A = this chain, B = another copy of it.
Amino acid sequence: MTYTLAEEDYLKAIYKIAERHGTPVSTSAIAELMQTRPASVTDMLKKLADKELIDYKRYHGVSLTRTGARQATLLIRKHRLWECFLVDKLGFSWDEVHEIAEQLEHIQSDTLIDRLDDYLENPKFDPHGDPIPDASGAYRMRYQILLSDLGLHQPAVLVGVREHASSFLQYLDQNRLALGATLEVIEVLPYDGSVRLRLGDGEPILISGQVARQLYVRQTTESA
């Protein structure tokens, strides 16, 4: 019923890889995300399989069981709620909170996280725009597309980031690319796929195609 820090982090890693690349999840993908060796991953996979948190067939990758998936989403819930706390209450910026939340998410207390949720007034999204599962583990995906897939002159709002590295988030800050910003693609440069944007009512800015593929936007009504 209660899992170790390492077990929790593995479950979360498997969940995130499955979410992005589908199932089954390979040993090497887990090793890369967790910065460990594949041999270490194999060891842990056996333990998680013994506890029926994953379905594991040697040489064929893993997927989470219902129990494992539930545990992973509860951990993600805790991670994201703590990030909200750090940003909204303690004044951290969105590029500073990940490492701390990576620790805080493992605090074991049945009531703590629900009280924190109430204290924060039940936020639905974390500082990076990621949805926060409720106490039962359920959440709805926000409607979103990649900025790189947004049509020309389609008004849209920045709602999330695919990349969470500090350096990337700081780059966004420097270019006034904050969540909630309204934008519109003015031009896509054919040579390298760079994108020229109108941001709010300011001067147009230019971002690389690389960056455009890391930003999630929601289209707004034409007339907005």
Contacts and interface: CB of A to CB of B under 8 A. Distances in A.
Report whether over half of chain A's contact residues are helix, strand or loop; otherwise say mixed.
helix
Nearest to A89: B119
B119 A90 contact: yes
A111 B100 CA distance: 10
Copies in the complex: 2
Contact of A112 (B90, B108, B116): B90
A109 interface: yes
Interface string A104-120: 10011101100110010
A92 interface: yes
A104 to B, nearest CB: 6
A208 interface: no
A91 interface: yes
A28 to B, nearest CB: 29
Interface string A2-13: 000000000000
Interface string A185-197: 0000000000000
Contacts of A112: 86, 90, 100
A116 B91 CA distance: 10
A90 to B, nearest CB: 4
A103 interface: yes
B92 A103 contact: no
Interface of A: 86, 89-92, 96, 99-100, 103-104, 107-109, 111-112, 115-116, 119
